[in-house]
Structure 1
Amino acid sequence: MIVVGLTGGIGSGKTTVANFFKELNIPVYIADDEAKKLMVRSKVIKRQLIALFGDDAYIDNELNKPFIASKIFSDKTYLQQMNAIVHPKVAAHFKRWMKKQKSEYVIKEAAIIFEHNKEADFDFIITVTANLDERINRVIKRDNSSKSKIESIINNQMSDEEKVKKSHFVITNDNLEDTRNQVIKTHQIILKRIKNLKN
């Protein structure tokens, strides 16, 4: 099965692009969403996160996100330790999910493919970009967050320029109709490349 990575900075519109691929009957795996579900569902993850963060990591069987966010914010090693617990489980879950799919290729949407040096996990990588002001405005609306907080997140992420250099495809998400057309074009090129690989 061909695996296509879909990545991009905060507010670039990865979900919008993912939904356009779904319209073309391409299965999409949203790594962050699945990680959140596994953190609640998996007894092993739960046990390890409680050992890492303490009993306050969960309230009424739900992940205590504000508490964990504050811990990670004050000590970055917590994030590395949490990722070491969660990421292998997500990777295993993705492999099981992939085996059930019947399409020519699947998409795995993950924000930090390049930051974690995971390029080798993918046959092709698509980076979604967007105008910086547009990205900030989207996240302010979506997360009810402050401009300065979003800017600090963007400044901590790998730049679009660096991501674009490492990608096979780039989709600029500034206009919905244009974005949809870019997705259709990218989809057709991927299918053509898969056909060539098979020949």
Structure 2
Amino acid sequence: MIVGLTGGIGSGKTTIAKMFHELGVSIYIADIEAKKLMHTSQEIKEELIAAFGEETYVDGELNRSYLSNIVFNQPEELQKINAIVHPRVGQHFKDWYMSRSEEKYIIKEVAILFENDSYKHCDKIITVVAPLETRFQRLLQRDQTTREAIQSRINNQWDDAKKIALSDYVIHNEDLEKAKTQVAKIHHEISLLSQKI
């Protein structure tokens, strides 16, 4: 059983994923795997260089700031990157999932689960939400960025109401203890469901 985990930037998806991991659930974090593949896949390297120029990699390392500047406020450029990277991440996930077929369920954490249609391949979906100001404060601390840059990233994602409408579970992630209680309840429910399938 594949359970999709998503939420807007700064909602605390990764914190929630760790809580599930502590309960023994295998977690696939798509962003981390995508970054690894952008460093290790020769095919991805060649296609990114062809699309964005030699400066995309410096001494074999992905030039993240260069790419970030290109895609900032240019959704069509971001789509180009996604078209190169996402199919490879999709195949990598399939291989990873097949090697865990004995497990009751796994969690696939994807920031843009709805935006890139990968929610259609999930049996259940969990969306993590947090108040907008909480998200701003988390990101200002974590990324040493500006409110404008954060707002721009938020604008590129679906709003919470739209995600919630398509989700099976919603975790309100403001208070960690309350979030843990919600995670334990959802874990129990999904574990029971997976036994029936």
Alignment TM class, shorter chain as reference: over 0.9
* Superposed CA offset, 1:88-110 (max 9, x none): 10000011111222421110000
* Superposed CA offset, 1:134-188 (max 9, x none): 1110000000111222123223321111111100000010111111111010001
Tell me the equivalent position of 2:137.
Answer: 137
TM-score, normalization by structure 1? 0.95
SS of residue in 1 equivalent to 2:25 = coil
Within 5 Å, which residues of 2 pair with 1:107-122? 107-122=107-122
Deviation at 1:124, TM superposition (A): 0.3
What letter matches 1:47 in structure 2?
E
Higher deviation after alignment, 69-78 or 155-164: 69-78
Distance verdict in 2 for CA 1:75–1:153, change over 3 Å: closer
What letter matches 1:10 in structure 2?
I
Q: Is 1:81 matched up with 2:72? A: no
Tell me the equivalent position of 1:67.
Answer: 66
What letter matches 2:5 in structure 1?
L
Q: Distance in 1 between matches of 2:94 and 2:151?
A: 34
Distance verdict in 2 for CA 1:70–1:146, change over 3 Å: same
Q: Distance in 1 between matches of 2:135 and 2:80?
A: 29
Paired residues in the alignment total 196
Tell me the equivalent position of 2:126.
Answer: 126
Q: Distance in 2 between matches of 1:132 and 1:75?
A: 23
Tell me the equivalent position of 2:22.
Answer: 23
Q: Which runs of 5+ in 1 are unaligned?
A: none
Identity of aligned residues (%): 47
Kindly indicate whether the alpha-carbon contact (under 8 Å) linking 2:73 and 2:152 is maintained by their aligned counterparts in 1. no
Q: Distance in 2 between matches of 1:69 and 1:152?
A: 12
* Superposed CA offset, 1:9-28 (max 9, x none): 00000000000000011000
Q: Distance in 1 between matches of 2:73 and 2:175?
A: 38
Q: Distance in 2 between matches of 1:188 and 1:74?
A: 41
Q: Distance in 2 between matches of 1:99 and 1:118?
A: 17
SS of residue in 1 equivalent to 2:154 = helix
Deviation at 1:74, TM superposition (A): 5.9
Q: Distance in 2 between matches of 1:82 and 1:28?
A: 24
SS of residue in 2 equivalent to 1:10 = coil
Tell me the equivalent position of 1:169.
Answer: 169
